[in-house]
Amino acid sequence: MKEKIRKYIEENKTELIETIQEIVQIETVIGNEMAGQQYMKKKYEELGLEIHEFQPDYEKLKSHEAFVDSGIDYAGRKNLIGIHRGTENGKSLTLHGHIDVVSPEPTSNWTVDPWGGEIIDGKLYGRGSADMKASLIANWFALKTLIALDYPIKGDVQLHSVLEEESGGGGGALACMEEGFLTDGLISSEPHNLQMTISHAGIMYFRVKVVGRTAHAGLAHEGINAISKMYKVYNALEELSNWRAENVRFKLYEEGSGQSVHLNLGVLEAGDWVSTVPGEATLEGRISFIPGEDRATIKQLIKDTIQQAVAGDEWLEEHPPEIEWFGWSTEPWYQDPEDPFVKEFLNTAGSVLERDVHTIGRAAGNDARFTQYYNRAGICFGPIQENMHGPDENVDLDSVVEVANVFANFIVDWTES
The predicted model gives 353-358 an average pLDDT of 95
Give the 3-state secondary structure of 297-363: HHHHHHHHHHHHHHCCCHHHHHCCCEEEEEEEEECCEECCCCCHHHHHHHHHHHHHHCCCCCEEEEC
The pLDDT tens digits for 75-91 are 999 999 999 999 999 99
**pLDDT band per the 50, 70, 90 thresholds, residue 364:** confident
Q: Would you call the peptide bond into 132 cis, given omega within 30 degrees of 0 as the criterion? A: yes
Q: In whole angstroms, give the CA distance from residue 46 to residue 53.
A: 16
The predicted model gives 278-307 an average pLDDT of 97
For 12-53, the DSSP string reads HHHHHHHHHHHHHTS--BTT--HHHHHHHHHHHHHTTPEEEE
Q: Would you call the peptide bond into 152 cis, given omega within 30 degrees of 0 as the criterion? A: no
Quick check: 368 pLDDT over 90? yes
Domains of the chain (ranges, CATH numbers): 2-200+332-416 (3.40.630.10), 202-330 (3.30.70.360)
Q: In whole angstroms, give the CA distance from residue 82 to residue 56.
A: 17
**pLDDT band per the 50, 70, 90 thresholds, residue 365:** confident
Quick check: 363 pLDDT over 90? no
For 145-158, the DSSP string reads HHHHTT----S-EE
Q: In whole angstroms, give the CA distance from residue 362 to residue 37.
A: 28
- pLDDT over 90 percentage in the chain: 96
Q: In whole angstroms, give the CA distance from residue 411 to residue 320.
A: 56
For 225-280, the DSSP string reads -HHHHHHHHHHHHHHHHHHHHHH---HHHHHHHSSS--EEEEEEEE-S-TTB---E
CA atoms within a 13 Å half-sphere pointing along the CA-CB vector of 226: 25
Pairing mode of beta strands 385-386, 394-396: antiparallel
The predicted model gives 155-180 an average pLDDT of 96
> Which residues are CB-neighbours of 409 under 8 A, at least 6 positions away?
1, 2, 5, 348, 351, 352
**pLDDT band per the 50, 70, 90 thresholds, residue 417:** confident
Q: In whole angstroms, give the CA distance from residue 83 to residue 102.
A: 28
Identify the pLDDT of residue 401.
Answer: 98
Quick check: 397 pLDDT over 90? yes
H/E element holding 211?
A: strand 202-211
Supply the pTM of this predicted model.
0.91
End-to-end Cα spacing for the chain: 15
Quick one: CA dihedral 337, 332, 373, 69, positive or negative?
negative
Identify the pLDDT of residue 224.
Answer: 97
The pLDDT tens digits for 42-83 are 999 999 999 999 999 999 999 999 999 999 999 999 999 999
Mean pLDDT across the chain, nearest whole number?
96
- pLDDT over 70 percentage in the chain: 100
